[in-house]
Structure 1
Amino acid sequence: MATNVLTLVGSLRSGSTNAQLAEAAVATAPEGVEVSVFQGLENIPFYNEDIDVEGHVPAAAAELRAAAADADALLLVSPEYNGTIPAVLKNAIDWLSRPYGAGAATDMPTAVIGTAFGQFGGVWAQDEARKSATIAGAKVLDDVKLSIPNSVVRFAETHPKDDSEVVGQLADVLGKLRAAAELN
């Protein structure tokens, strides 16, 4: 039985190198791992407890929660915006954290990866995403990291799925997510 990994991408930009990194995870997932990328984070309203009412949860938020409930693990792919996590990804984590103690992210094996234009590959944002997901109740694999610097240059003419180093690193991340999901 395959491990289902739900991927959330923190960049909404067309041509995003983080979206391409997620596409590479889908295209090159190792045997026994199925990766899907959630579409529609931009449609989820900012978390507000007033609208998080059973039977009236906004459709886009309900779809995210359902997708996470069907997954065995989460893969968060984060660029770095002004030194931190993009609002759209933080918002998704907030929706997945509720109801408190029983949200869709609770006890979910989770890894955070990403790429950024700068020389550190977005590590600040990825650290913030790990922190937020941990507080949301996810089982964040703190030792599983993939930060790819200089994304605009590195992926100017090569898609991440065609970069053997990246493919190998993705296989390692996904393999560790699978192992964590099997123990869960």
Structure 2
Amino acid sequence: MERSVVAAKPVIKVAALCGSLRKASFNRGLLRSAIEICRESINGMQIEYVDIEPLPFINTDLEVNGTYPPVVEAFRQKILEADSILFASPEYNYSVTPPLKNAIDWASRPPNVWADKPAAIISTGGGLGGGRAQYHLRQIGVYVDLHFINKPEFMLRAFEPPKKFDSDGNLIDPEAKEKLKQVLLSLQAFTLRLKQ
């Protein structure tokens, strides 16, 4: 009697980066919610938060014989090992934040560990909900060879009713959580497609 073998769905490893360093940041809250949604209702995908705060300002004087400072090497390894990337990108002066740009630049140094990875962007804030920062991040992604999902977009206007976040920066709006889940599912499907 032959046993039927069912191939296990591969686990997608996602590195999650937040452009805000503030502990109660709403954008950091989006990532906490994404991790929770993934754990509770998306099989075959794991999100790991990767902290960019310890990274020094990029400076090629810190590169010695083709190596980088240990904290930079550790960060680059996390990106290299990830199957895809999830950016939570607040908008500062119509663009991405300095800490996020710094992290992107470090990981783009030879060899570029962003290359050929699928990615998604989520953002929240006033005005357009971080939309202009997202478009700048997409432009940067062209050069570092990231492949962003196009739909669905997630730009959450944080200060319009109903209340979206609690006092600790945690996402509490059910509709926003559902939209966030759809982004994660799209990233998962796109990652699997590119892997094939």
TM-score (norm 1): 0.89
Once the two structures are TM-superposed, the CA of residue 137 in structure 1 deviates from its matched residue by: 1.2
Structure 1 residue runs of 4 or more that deviate by more than 6 Å after TM superposition: none
CA contact (8 A) 1:111 1:144 kept: no
**Which AA in structure 1 matches 2:47?**
V
Cα distance in 2, alignment partners of residues 178 and 71 from structure 1: 12
- 2:149 aligns to what? 141
Please name the residue that 1:22 is paired with.
31
> Relative to 1, partners in 2 of residues 1:11 and 1:183: Cα closer, same or farther, differing over 3 Å?
same
Equivalent positions of 1:20-99 (< 5 A) are: 20-29=29-38, 30-39=42-51, 41-54=52-65, 56-99=67-110
Select the structure of larger CA radius of gyration.
2
After superposition, the CA RMSD in angstroms is: 1.9
Q: CA deviation at 1:55?
A: 5.6
Note the residue ranges of structure 2 that are not aligned, 5 or more in a row. Answer: 1-9
Q: In structure 1, how many angstroms separate the alpha carbons of the residues matched to 2:13 and 2:153? A: 19
Superposed CA deviations along residues 98-149 of structure 1, whole A, max 9, x for unmatched, are: 21xx411000001111101x12101111111121122111112233420001
User: Residues of 2 paired with 1:148 and 1:55: CA distance?
Assistant: 41
Tell whether 2:167 aligns with 1:154.
Answer: no
Aligned to 1:165: 175
Query: Does the aligned pair in 2 maintain the 1:6–1:38 contact within 8 Å?
Result: yes
State the SS of the aligned residue for 2:179. helix
Give the number of aligned pairs: 179
